[in-house]
């Protein structure tokens, strides 16, 4: 039986030297003797002799040895003839090491757990059969050819070092789906079908690898693969150097070279069924003589967002040379440096919001109460500020009313004095009586007008005006008593008093009636309709952060520039102070009670509840509480809910704008009758049309016919509510109609800048015509809802 080391080789005996303590003098003496010429030459010769032995075996210990053509028991001097024999000998033992000498080895073999196989040289050891690897397997210094390839089984972690694959008929290295880990270093794959095929769940650590001349991709990476590929070379492959599906990927492709590949250096792909976003970084690579340097495409499926690649792929600091179609395909939507900084800043803000969300998921009752308390404090503080600004504008009117009351009292006292016997006989009081009768009529008109406008004021100013109106009413009563008391039966010059009494001069107790005009207490005579106010659980941080003034920060600076701000509320406020939408939900969720106070703090005076009757019936208690919660925040509810009104009005200067709630499928004749008093008086009517979601989320001929009927009834504007649909607007017989205003929250959620969301600014012209202007409505992390030009 031949020796494993060969006929002309001897074994090396390793001697472990003993260690002694020695003095410095002894140390120097030994050192001098060691470097004596005769001793030094002897040691040098011994070193050459040791170097002549095989380095893989010398100093290493293996459990089994394999050499082509042998048929032994696996010992060093009597090796197995095949790798399969060594594996069968291992059986279920773990941690075994196998040494493979030069030769060719075929047949499929499954390598058991924690086994290490080391070859003598990857150019001298050739494996031509499948090798299936279990967890913990390590392969080193092996070569593969023909049908020889490697399969890493599900959930296995393997290490492959210094391997060489050449002329492989199929895929050189393949991983099964699962939590598989592949570590591949310092290896060559030449002329394979695919170099590698990495399936979902795999983590890879690839460094110092060459993939050359493949008939397909160098590496084909499916969705949900993580890790890194660095300092490797991909050249002259028929398709791409690396092809990666971005869905759920977490991959860094850095410091590699891609040259002469038939398609792209790196191809990023989208497939339906994969999670939409990934995180792939392509940085510091060199791309030369490929078709594209980096290409993005969607071979299967349709992208929901034109920013898919922008949000999934970072391409930074690469070098591009002579790529046929170009450096980066346009579909990749790569940012400029300035855009990248802005994008990363927004991404950081999003991460901060997500962190805030996580911290808020388990709030104690004390924290919930504190959040509600802060929202109420926000409302009361802002309302006090608005009331102060309003009082400043009202002050001239209040002063005039005080003066009017004082002058009126003096006039009545003066009339009583004229009733002395001599004055009554000489002059009479006929002129004063006529003046007081005109005064009563003017006071009636004034009190009616002020009483109608009182409801638009904030509470402190309502109380002040109520007190002044009570004073005027008391004055009127005093005047009536004076007029009904006994008068002079005869006056000598009474006819002259009647003759000289002045007609209506436009004054009231000496004050010009123009001083009693209602001021514009809330900026311009304009109203603003915000549209849908809501949030989505897929960005649950919005639900968390919107519990404070950040939700309406962008509205605050313009809050008092409108006589009224109205929004649309599709879902109820619910009954809890601070509910969060459960993670599994895919539709909108109830608003926290806090929202009512936050909206009121932005001068939102009314909310239209656009839920369908069916939705209200499913959750009547929540909608019933909605009206109560909004009333607590001094917000009027428009809609078919408990505490709500179907018709509301907004005072715009001297004119009135009417809001009418109408629901798809209701009796149209009832609406016609309700709005006829307004339209016949040339007063504009806005119909808030709640779509029935069961009838779909798109415009249909039947719905257009309904809108046309509304227009023929005389309405001035129709606003569709109740469904989440893209912005859509058109004129119907010259009247503006909005099927949907879009949603700023949806735009924020998707990151799609092409989605449009508007608010509508309204005013009434001198001719009584409703004028409507669109204002872009945006939602950002910094300012919440914001009106843009």
Task: pLDDT band for 276, please (50, 70, 90 cuts).
Answer: low
Give yes or no for a contact between 187 and 209, defined as CB atoms under 8 angstroms apart.
yes
Q: Return the higher-pLDDT residue of 498 and 611.
A: 611
| pLDDT > 50? residue 39 | no
| pLDDT > 70? residue 37 | no
The predicted structure's pLDDT at residue 394 = 74
The predicted structure's pLDDT at residue 784 = 75
Q: How far apart are CA 759 and CA 59, in angstroms?
A: 80
Task: pLDDT band for 524, please (50, 70, 90 cuts).
Answer: low
The predicted structure's pLDDT at residue 649 = 86
CA neighbor of 187 nearest in space, from 173, 201, 198: 173
Please compute the mean of the pLDDT values over residues 512-540 and round it to a whole number: 61
The predicted structure's pLDDT at residue 498 = 41
Please compute the mean of the pLDDT values over residues 174-191 and round it to a whole number: 97
Task: pLDDT band for 546, please (50, 70, 90 cuts).
Answer: very low
DSSP H helices, 262-307, are none
Q: Return the higher-pLDDT residue of 279 and 347.
A: 279
Please compute the mean of the pLDDT values over residues 699-711 and round it to a whole number: 93
User: What percent of the residues of the chain are helix, what percent strand, and what percent coil, each to the nearest 5?
Assistant: 35, 25, 40
Phi, psi for 379 (deg, rounded to 5)? -65, -50
Mean pLDDT, the chain, integer: 77
| pLDDT > 90? residue 427 | no
Q: Return the higher-pLDDT residue of 350 and 738.
A: 738
The predicted structure's pLDDT at residue 208 = 98
Per-residue model confidence as pLDDT tens digits over 142-171: 999 999 899 999 999 999 999 999 999 999
Give yes or no for a contact between 218 and 242, defined as CB atoms under 8 angstroms apart.
yes
CA neighbor of 261 nearest in space, from 242, 280, 281: 242
Residue percentage of the chain with pLDDT more than 90: 38
| pLDDT > 80? residue 305 | no
In order, the DSSP letters of 598-625 are HHHHTTEEEEEE---HHHHHHSHHHHHH
Per-residue model confidence as pLDDT tens digits over 665-703: 889 999 999 999 999 999 999 999 999 888 888 899 999
The predicted structure's pLDDT at residue 306 = 47
Task: pLDDT band for 8, please (50, 70, 90 cuts).
Answer: very low
The answer, as to whether pTM is greater than 0.85, is no
* Max mean pLDDT range (275-279, 561-565, 750-754): 561-565
Please compute the mean of the pLDDT values over residues 292-316 and round it to a whole number: 69
The predicted structure's pLDDT at residue 768 = 87
The predicted structure's pLDDT at residue 677 = 93
Lowest mean pLDDT among 37-41, 292-296, 366-370: 37-41
Q: How far apart are CA 676 and CA 665, in angstroms?
A: 20
3-state secondary structure 431-485: HHHHHHHHHHHHHHHHHHHHHHHHCCCCHHHHHHHHHHHHHHHHHHHHHHHHHHC
| pLDDT > 90? residue 777 | no
Task: pLDDT band for 494, please (50, 70, 90 cuts).
Answer: very low
Please compute the mean of the pLDDT values over residues 29-38 and round it to a whole number: 44
Task: pLDDT band for 423, please (50, 70, 90 cuts).
Answer: very low
Task: pLDDT band for 116, please (50, 70, 90 cuts).
Answer: very high
Lowest mean pLDDT among 356-365, 758-767, 780-789: 356-365
The predicted structure's pLDDT at residue 517 = 57
Lowest mean pLDDT among 5-9, 357-361, 494-498: 5-9
CA neighbor of 687 nearest in space, from 705, 711, 703: 711
Please count the residues of the chain.
Answer: 789
| pLDDT > 50? residue 4 | no
Per-residue model confidence as pLDDT tens digits over 374-410: 777 787 887 787 778 777 777 777 777 777 777 777 7
The predicted structure's pLDDT at residue 725 = 84
| pLDDT > 60? residue 596 | yes
DSSP H helices, 268-420, are 308-312, 337-360, 365-417
The predicted structure's pLDDT at residue 57 = 46
Lowest mean pLDDT among 13-27, 68-82, 454-468, 516-530: 13-27
Task: pLDDT band for 661, please (50, 70, 90 cuts).
Answer: very high
The predicted structure's pLDDT at residue 15 = 28
Give yes or no for a contact between 411 and 434, defined as CB atoms under 8 angstroms apart.
no
Beta bridge partners of 526: 763
Task: pLDDT band for 334, please (50, 70, 90 cuts).
Answer: low
Q: Return the higher-pLDDT residue of 675 and 302.
A: 675
Task: pLDDT band for 504, please (50, 70, 90 cuts).
Answer: very low
Q: Residue 258: in which H helix or E strand, if any?
A: strand 257-259
The predicted structure's pLDDT at residue 43 = 42
Per-residue model confidence as pLDDT tens digits over 63-96: 999 999 999 999 999 999 999 999 999 987 889 9
The predicted structure's pLDDT at residue 336 = 54
Q: How far apart are CA 103 and CA 126, in angstroms?
A: 6
Alpha-carbon distances of 712 from 429, 662, 676, 729, rounded to whole Å: 58, 15, 12, 18
Buried b (16+ CB within 10 A) or exposed e, 339-363: eeeebeeeeeeeeebeeebeebeeb
Give yes or no for a contact between 164 and 192, defined as CB atoms under 8 angstroms apart.
no
Which phi-psi region, left, alpha or beta, contains residue 424 (left: φ > 0; alpha: ψ -120 to 50)? alpha
| pLDDT > 50? residue 541 | no
Two structure tokens written together for 30: 């030994």
Residue-range domains of the chain with CATH: 149-334 (2.160.20.10), 387-516 (no CATH), 522-788 (3.60.21)
Lowest mean pLDDT among 435-444, 498-507, 695-704, 764-773: 498-507
Distant-in-sequence, close-in-space partners of 731: CB < 8 Å, separation ≥ 6: 737
Token pair 């592949």 is at which residue?
182
């Amino acid at each position: 039986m031949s020796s494993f080391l060969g006929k002309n080789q001897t074994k090396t005996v390793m001697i472990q030297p003993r260690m002694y303590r020695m003095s410095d003098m002894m140390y120097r003496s030994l050192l001098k003797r060691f470097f004596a010429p005769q001793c030094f030459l002897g040691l040098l010769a011994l070193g050459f002799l040791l170097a002549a032995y095989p380095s893989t075996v010398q100093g290493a210990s293996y459990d089994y040895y394999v050499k082509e053509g042998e048929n032994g028991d696996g010992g060093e001097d009597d090796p197995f003839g095949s790798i399969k024999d060594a594996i069968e000998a291992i059986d279920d033992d773990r941690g075994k090491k196998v040494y493979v000498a030069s030769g060719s080895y075929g047949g499929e073999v499954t390598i058991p757990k924690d086994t290490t196989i080391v070859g003598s040289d990857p150019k001298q050891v050739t494996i031509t059969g499948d090798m299936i690897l279990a967890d913990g397997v390590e392969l080193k210094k092996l070569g593969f050819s023909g049908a020889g390839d490697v399969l890493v089984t599900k959930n296995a972690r393997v290490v492959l070092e210094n391997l060489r694959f050449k002329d492989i008929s199929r895929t050189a290295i393949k991983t099964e789906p699962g939590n598989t880990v592949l570590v591949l270093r310092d290896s060559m794959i030449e002329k394979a079908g695919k170099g590698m095929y990495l399936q979902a769940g795999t983590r890879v650590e690839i460094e110092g690898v060459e993939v050359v001349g493949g008939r397909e991709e160098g590496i084909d990476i499916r969705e949900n693969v993580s890790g890194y590929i660095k300092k490797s070379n991909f050249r002259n492959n028929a398709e791409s150097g690396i092809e990666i599906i971005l869905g759920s990927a977490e991959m860094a492709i850095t410091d590699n070279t891609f040259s002469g590949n038939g398609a792209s250096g790196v191809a990023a792909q989208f497939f339906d069924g994969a999670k939409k976003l990934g995180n792939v970084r392509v940085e510091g690579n060199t791309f030369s003589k490929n078709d594209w340097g980096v290409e993005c495409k969607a071979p299967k499926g349709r992208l929901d967002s034109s920013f898919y690649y922008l949000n999934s792929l970072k391409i930074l600091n690469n070098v591009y040379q002579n790529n046929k179609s170009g450096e980066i395909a346009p579909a990749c939507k790569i940012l400029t440096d300035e855009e990248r900084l802005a994008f990363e800043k927004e991404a950081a803000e999003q991460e901060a919001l997500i962190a805030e969300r996580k911290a808020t998921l388990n709030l104690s009752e004390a924290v919930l109460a504190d959040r509600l308390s802060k929202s109420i404090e926000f409302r009361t503080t802002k309302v006090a500020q608005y009331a102060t600004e309003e009082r400043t504008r009202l002050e001239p009117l209040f002063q005039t009313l005080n003066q009017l009351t004082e002058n009126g009292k003096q006039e009545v006292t003066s009339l009583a004095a004229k009733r002395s016997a001599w004055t009554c006989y000489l002059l009479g009081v006929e002129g004063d009586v006529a003046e007081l009768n005109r005064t009563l009529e003017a006071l009636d008109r004034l009190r009616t007008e002020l009483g109608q406008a009182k409801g638009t004021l904030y509470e402190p100013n309502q109380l002040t005006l109520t007190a002044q109106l009570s004073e005027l009413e008391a004055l009127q009563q005093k005047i009536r008593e004076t007029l009904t008391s006994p008068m002079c039966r005869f006056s000598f010059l009474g006819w002259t008093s009647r003759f000289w009494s002045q007609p209506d001069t436009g004054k009231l107790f000496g004050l010009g009636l123009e001083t009693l005009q209602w001021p514009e207490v809330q900026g311009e005579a304009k109203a603003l309709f915000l549209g849908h106010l809501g949030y989505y659980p897929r960005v649950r941080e919005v639900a968390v952060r919107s519990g404070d003034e950040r939700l309406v920060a962008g509205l605050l600076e313009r809050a008092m520039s409108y006589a009224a701000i109205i929004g649309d509320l599709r879902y109820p406020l619910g009954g809890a102070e601070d509910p969060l939408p459960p993670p599994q939900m895919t539709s909108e969720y109830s608003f926290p009670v806090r929202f009512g106070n936050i909206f009121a703090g932005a001068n939102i005076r009314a909310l239209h509840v656009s839920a369908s009757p069916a939705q209200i019936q499913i959750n009547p208690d929540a909608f019933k509480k909605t009206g109560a919660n909004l009333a607590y925040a001094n917000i009027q509810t428009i809609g078919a809910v408990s505490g709500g009104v179907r018709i509301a009005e907004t005072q715009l200067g001297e004119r009135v704008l009417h809001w009418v709630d109408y629901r798809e499928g209701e009796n149209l004749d009832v609406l016609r009758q309700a709005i006829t008093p307004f339209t016949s008086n040339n007063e504009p009517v806005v119909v808030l049309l709640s779509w029935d979601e069961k009838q779909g989320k798109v415009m249909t001929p039947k719905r257009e016919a309904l809108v046309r009927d509304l227009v023929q009834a005389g309405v001035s504007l129709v606003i569709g509510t109740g469904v989440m649909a893209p912005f859509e607007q058109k004129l119907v017989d010259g009247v503006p109609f909005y099927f949907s205003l879009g949603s700023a929250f949806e735009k924020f959620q998707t990151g799609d800048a092409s989605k449009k969301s508007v608010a509508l600014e309204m005013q009434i012209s001198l001719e009584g015509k409703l004028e409507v202007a669109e204002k872009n409505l945006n939602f950002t992390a910094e300012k919440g809802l914001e009106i843009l030009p």
